[in-house]
Structure 1
Amino acid sequence: MSIPSTSALMALLTLARTGSVTATADALAVTQSAISHKLKALEEQLGFTLIRREGRGVRLTERARHYVAEIGPALEVLARASQTEAVSGALTVNVASGFAASWLAPRIGGFLAKHPGVVLRINTPRRYGDLGARRNDLYISFLLPDEVPVGSTKLMGVGFFPVAAPSLMGGQTVTDTAALSRMPILHLDNRQDWQRWLSAAGGAADDGVTQGIVFQDLQIMEMAAKYGQGVALGDALTSRTAMERGELMRVHPFELPSARAYWLVEGAAPLSDSAKAFSAWLLAEL
């Protein structure tokens, strides 16, 4: 069985996508002459014409288009298999606790299945925006705009809204912020979270929020809310699973966009192959 070279096949697939020998050469970082030679050799091996001149450009023949449709998926499988074998080594990712528990933990097995040679360690920061000396390979951090290092990639923004156990609310939502603020309130880090939300929602910023438990850990606060201990501020990322299970419900329609967002930040050292693979997997999943 005669199998064409993968470089020639990639040249053909890229030409099918770009429609130009010049653009294909640029995409593959080779000369136009090299692309022409690869395509000519591929035609001789396959025994049929691949391209026809059309003005200043080229187009694939009908048979070539069918061939591309057949080999495209096969090359993707080959690329994934080759990457899985190639990527290995230790990788430490520092992940904001909310993102780690709500988004990463249910999916991390997919990355390890794709890259079984990677030895992965997940750290969590002591506080929001804590990048330290950036000694870890990668960071998924909940950062303010002025905390974001140059070259970072924004993953997602979030907005905050009140959530509580259906048993606490009797299954009913509220629209009156004054009534909401008279309920048991659960805070994260400090009481400014509810003050900002109430003020933006049209209520009094200090109405009823000077009381209530202050938590330092998002998951512990969410657990207290699930058990009906009070109303907390949740978001579509960290509260999604609990709401889908009926453990929490959204109790007010107003959502306050967070000044912070989740960012992918590189460590101080040059990226390893395993860090590059994790970044690519993460962005593809998101």
Structure 2
Amino acid sequence: MTALPPLNAIRAFEASARHLNFRLAAEELGVTQGAVAQQVRGLEARLGQQLFDRLPRGLRLTEAGRRFHSPLRRAFRLIEEAVEDLSGNRKIAISVTPSFASKWLVPRISDFTAKHPDISVQVDARERIADFQSDGIDIAVRQSRAPFAADLEATPLFTSAFVVVCNPELAQSVSQPSELMDHLLLSDSHGLWPLFLERAGVVGRPRMMSFSQTSLAIDAAISGQGFALANEPLVASELASGDLVQPLPEVLLEDLEFFVVNPKKPRQPELVRLMREWLVSQA
């Protein structure tokens, strides 16, 4: 039987592989960054393989590192599940984008926890699509086009209706789409302004400011920097409060729908069912 590397070294590598950053891994493990880096170097020496490419900002897994991390993550997840099972704790992990988390999920999630106080919720909010197996995710909300992989179950949450929004003061300056050309248009990673303008019959090249996340474009619109083209459900609360208004009636309908996605054979079927039903009830 092959002698296993020290558990601390394996934990240091696994955390570093998830965060792709020694500092963040050290914060999670409660040790110094230097200790994590040393543990990983020792593990690489023992395995005779380089597991990371060291970059100026962060880390990148090598091919050997990717092969090593995937089964390790599953193994740690099994240990976590065993501990949770014995302790009686019930926890569900949901993966969403940062914009969906801040603009839709977080304002509503207290309703779920109030209805199910015995269930802990872990919100994994990042742009990268989380993996149901290696990242320990139970359920996710994805903005995508159908169909999904055969081993996934996808439940429609809401369609993608994009509306023009701005703060109330700026709204007085436009009454038709062509007048948007006199203002700064706030774009996100979807980059749908050109399509909206084309369908509205507007010609010309607008002034644009681009953001990597939808929530940033929405916040910029609230502060009066320009006009944003946003998913209607993501700005519903801002429209209701009056922080944003919809100055034009035109709506851009796209086939980029929001879906609740989970494996057809989830690890925690009952918790997944409860979360899926709650998400749909909030739409």
TM superposition score category, shorter chain reference: 0.5 to 0.7
CA deviation string 1:14-54 (max 9, x = no partner):
xxxxxxxxxxxxxxxxxxxxxxxxxxxxxxxxxxxxxxxxx
SS of the residue corresponding to residue 250 of structure 1 reads: coil
Q: TM-score, normalised by structure 1?
A: 0.60
Aligned to 1:111: 112
Q: Are 1:216 and 2:212 matched, yes or no?
A: yes
Q: TM-score, normalised by structure 2?
A: 0.61
- Asked if the contact 1:91/1:120 (under 8 Å) is kept, the reply is yes
- Structure 2 letter corresponding to 1:198: L
CA deviation string 1:205-242 (max 9, x = no partner):
xx233x32110112211111111111110232111211
Aligned to 1:141: 142
1:132 Cα deviation from its structure 2 partner: 3.8
Q: 1:238 to 1:285 in 2, by over 3 A?
A: closer
- Structure 1 letter corresponding to 2:280: L
State how 1:61-140 maps to structure 2 within 5 Å. 89-126=90-127, 130-132=129-131, 135=135, 136-140=137-141
- Asked if the contact 1:172/1:251 (under 8 Å) is kept, the reply is no
Aligned to 2:156: 154
SS of the residue corresponding to residue 145 of structure 1 reads: coil
**Aligned residues: percent identity?**
22
Aligned to 1:71: none
- Structure 1 letter corresponding to 2:163: F
Aligned to 1:227: 223
What is the aligned counterpart of 2:255 among 243, 253, 259?
259
CA distance in 2, matches of 1:148, 1:196: 28
- Asked if the contact 1:165/1:228 (under 8 Å) is kept, the reply is yes
State how 1:173-212 maps to structure 2 within 5 Å. 173-175=174-176, 177-189=177-189, 192-204=191-203, 207-209=204-206, 211-212=207-208
- Asked if the contact 2:99/2:213 (under 8 Å) is kept, the reply is no
Aligned to 2:275: 278
1:106 Cα deviation from its structure 2 partner: 2.1
- Structure 2 letter corresponding to 1:137: D
CA distance in 2, matches of 1:148, 1:98: 24
Q: 1:221 to 1:117 in 2, by over 3 A?
A: same
Gaps of 5+ in 2: 1-87
CA distance in 2, matches of 1:131, 1:186: 27
SS of the residue corresponding to residue 95 of structure 2 reads: strand
- Asked if the contact 1:173/1:250 (under 8 Å) is kept, the reply is no
- Asked if the contact 1:88/1:116 (under 8 Å) is kept, the reply is no
RMSD of aligned Cα (Å): 2.4
SS of the residue corresponding to residue 273 of structure 2 reads: helix
1:146 Cα deviation from its structure 2 partner: 4.4
> Which aligned runs of 4 or more in structure 1 are off by greater than 6 angstroms?
none
